[in-house]
């Protein structure tokens, strides 16, 4: 990043710092955590080449949103790991047996496989129309318009299917 770009990011950040704090506060509901993420956002924004940014404010806001989701995902994985451990300790551990491999990567792979299986199962159980629309759009990467054309329905029909699918998957995956 050259000096001009760095200055641009600094200006942009300085300009929107207050709003970004407000956004992070609203997303996290915790001022301390919000301040922590604001720091991280600043560090990342400085490292990342900005490139041609049409709307600097939206760019920073999206970055903040992504940081929040990363943090939520990390928390979710940590809970899955803890759940696995307590399952093994309370139900399955037997004296004199080899302890299960608890190295981070093996564990994360198992958790990822479980997530994939849960996701595939939840998608398979969607109502037929929502399932097809969801699979074409989210899994196969077709746009809403392409999905509409393929299924012979309207674009708003696709949107309705997607909303049904997201709400169903949310319940299936997160309880």
Partner 1 sequence: MTAQSNLDERVLDEALAWQAALERDDADWDGYMAWLEADPRHRQAFDSIALTTAMVEEHKDAVGSLFDVQGEQAIPRPHRRMKWALGVGIVAVLALAIGLPLRQQEPAPSVYAADAGKSRAVALANGANILLSPASRIVVHGKDAARIELASGEAFFAVRHDPSRMLTIEAGPYRIIDIGTRFSVNLSGGTFRVGVSEGAVAVASDKAEGEVRLQAGQQLTGGANGDLTLAPVAVADVGSWRAGRLSYSDAPLALVVADISRYSGKRVIIDPSLETRHFSGTLVIGDGSRLLPDLATVMGVAVHSQAGGAVRLGGADR
Question: What residues make contact with partner 1 under the rule CB under 8 A?
Answer: 19, 22-23, 26-27, 29, 54-55, 57-58, 61-62, 65, 68-69, 72-73, 75-76, 88, 92-94, 97, 100-101, 112-125, 128, 135, 138-141, 159, 163, 166-167, 169-175
Measure the CA–CA gap between 55 and 65, rounded to whole angstroms: 16
When the beta carbons of 1 and 163 are compared against partner 1, the nearer one is 163
* Category of 116 on φ-ψ map: left (φ > 0), alpha (ψ -120 to 50) or beta: alpha
**Angle, alpha carbons 81-83-86 (nearest 5°):** 110
State the minimum distance, in angstroms, from the CB of residue 64 to partner 1. Answer: 10
When the beta carbons of 6 and 86 are compared against partner 1, the nearer one is 86
State the minimum distance, in angstroms, from the CB of residue 133 to partner 1. Answer: 13
When the beta carbons of 1 and 117 are compared against partner 1, the nearer one is 117
State the minimum distance, in angstroms, from the CB of residue 69 to partner 1. Answer: 5
State the minimum distance, in angstroms, from the CB of residue 61 to partner 1. Answer: 5
171: CB partners within 8 A, 6+ apart: none
When the beta carbons of 50 and 119 are compared against partner 1, the nearer one is 119
State the minimum distance, in angstroms, from the CB of residue 3 to partner 1. Answer: 28
Count other C-beta atoms under 10 Å from residue 138's C-beta. Answer: 15
When the beta carbons of 1 and 118 are compared against partner 1, the nearer one is 118
Measured between alpha carbons, how far is residue 112 from residues 109, 164, 172 in Å? 5, 24, 16
End-to-end CA distance of the chain: 44
Q: Contact, 155 vs 145, CB < 8 A?
A: yes
């Amino acid at each position: 990043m050259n000096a001009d770009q760095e200055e641009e990011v600094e200006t942009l950040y300085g300009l929107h710092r207050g709003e970004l704090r407000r956004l992070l506060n609203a997303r996290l509901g915790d001022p301390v955590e919000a301040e922590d993420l604001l720091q991280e956002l600043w560090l990342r924004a400085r490292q990342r080449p900005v490139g041609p940014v049409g709307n600097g404010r939206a760019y920073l806001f999206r970055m903040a949103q992504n940081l929040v989701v990363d943090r939520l995902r990390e928390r979710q994985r940590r809970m899955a790991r803890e759940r696995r451990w307590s399952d093994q300790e309370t139900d399955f551990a037997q004296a004199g047996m080899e302890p299960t491999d608890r190295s981070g990567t093996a564990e994360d792979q198992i958790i990822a496989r479980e997530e994939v299986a849960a996701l595939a199962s939840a998608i398979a159980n969607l109502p037929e129309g929502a399932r097809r629309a969801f699979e074409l759009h989210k899994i196969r990467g077709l746009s809403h318009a392409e999905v509409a054309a393929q299924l012979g329905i309207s674009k708003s029909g696709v949107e309705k299917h997607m909303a049904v699918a997201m709400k169903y998957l949310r319940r299936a995956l997160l309880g």
